[in-house]
Amino acid sequence: MIEENTVKWIRKLGISSLILMLLTMGMLVTYTTIATAQQPTQMAAKTVAYPPLLDPADTVILLLDHQSGLFQTVKDISVAELRTNTTILAKVAKLAKIPVITTASEPNGPNGPLMPEIHQYAPHAVFVPRKGEISAWDNKDFVDAVRKTGRKTLIMAGVWTSVCVAFPAIQAKAEGYNVYAVIDASGDPSEMASRTTIARLTQAGVIPVSTNAVVCEIQRTWARPDAAEYGDLYSDYAPNYKAAVESYLRAQETLKGKK
């Protein structure tokens, strides 16, 4: 019965009207198809772009709880390597004139004092004591010190990675800062803790990096008067690189002697 009524309706409507209706339906289908195809592109345009390379003029280095007592609990990296990489961050901060802020939750407690190399090689570093807060970002004086710099890119390293770095990194990222976590200048009680922390930081939008990457991004070019000083930092980071440089220099001296 429904089919008969449909046929009668079509005959009554007329061929011209039927063609017009079919064309309209076709245009609607085409529009829907195009709109669907364009949707991923429109969504991709809203995706936050990966941050550009570090700008030293907009960067602050935050070294959190590098305390001698806490070093005894670190198991995912050797303490010697951890201290070396942290020292390199202090040195590159001085070289590039980048502000440094250090902190400790309770330096007089069992966690111990800060490693002295930081303030030795970055004498301009500012120490902000905390009043027991586990996260440095929960301490008003520390946050005020960061804001006072007027800079929006934060390079963080500390002990433990899963707590002393992760908590303030995630909090600062939520407030609009561009945050990098230097994993090999930080330490955790286990490799599992470090791996899960890297995943958590990444999901929060914090960028995990190595000490070497930080130095390279700050340097950017060998065509600069202080290039040799950056070369020394790479030698500190990678002893094998230092050996390669020494071999090259000795070979050059030998060639000059033969001329």
- Find the helix or strand (DSSP H, E) in which 63 lies: strand 59-64
Distance (Å, whole) CA 169 – CA 167: 5
Q: How far is CA 121 from CA 37, 58, 90, 93, 218, in A?
A: 56, 21, 6, 9, 17
Q: Do you find a cis peptide bond into 222, omega within 30 degrees of 0?
A: no
Contacts of 27 (CB under 8 A, 6+ apart): none
Catalytically active residues are 164
Contacts of 70 (CB under 8 A, 6+ apart): 111, 112, 159, 160, 187
Q: Tokens 């929060």, residue?
A: 204
DSSP secondary structure code for residue 105 in this structure: S
The neighbouring-strand residues paired with 126 are 101
The structure tokens listed for 179 are 């945050």
Contact criterion met (CB below 8 Å) for 200 and 226: no
* CA angle at 128 for the pair 125 and 132, rounded to the nearest 5°: 145
Instruction: Phi first, then psi: give them for residue 63, nearest 5 degrees.
Output: -110, 110
Sheet holding 59-64, edge to edge: 126-129, 100-104, 59-64, 153-158, 178-182, 207-209
DSSP secondary structure code for residue 160 in this structure: -
